[in-house]
Chains A and B, each alone.
Chain A
């Protein structure tokens, strides 16, 4: 597996992250719910979801949604990218049969007082024409080939 990672000097405000499209099926929704220990039936029992929640199918749960965003961000940064902060707002549900498309853009590139390189991102998850989740994230990137944000601790890590 590759250790290839972006460095801060390779990133510019306005850069777009490569889009990621994911076709969601029932197995993925159930797998995500079980992985996050979410046993609530609307994430694995279609009858319950339809009859009790009034939705058209089971749907992706919140931690699964967060895990997709983490994957989207670190697919772009590589393993040295270290997530500092993520904020998201789920506006609509994602169902089996949906094609999710992740989009992202670089909003800010900066170094903090300790010399840590930071990139601020705005991200969006869409299904068709609809935005289902809005997200912002702050991720640390190495400032040089031998820098490693994961080695920062205590006051040298300011997410």
Chain B
């Protein structure tokens, strides 16, 4: 292949590689950072790391899984550097019990598929907004475990906390999100 043609081929391959992957990578970074500009920075950094490391990629995971970990790490690095906003405590969103350990929470009357009242896009936006309301230390674990699909051990390693701490925060995050999603999930039997 002549040099010009080879160069054109490589440029085309790079463009296709970026186009094929940038959508999901931006979505991952935006979920973690909740900020478009920072997400774009994270993705840009991630592509540099991916190209720099591609030669050493050993194929112990799929290429997408490897790229996914890189964009997650880049987003988390930016998150750590950004100033933390004032957050509400999670406790009011957690289940309540009386002195004998009985659940105080009002029981839900599950309406007939309440999700059908919303379009899929509306539900997705609602869920996304509610996740963003969680305090950061819970939100990040919920995103990494339940959306990005990382294992407890992987999350513990990335965040430098114990496995049991990951589990405690994950359960609290899920419980709090359940509470926040009650208007979407059903109606209360007051």
Is B truly associated with A? Answer: no
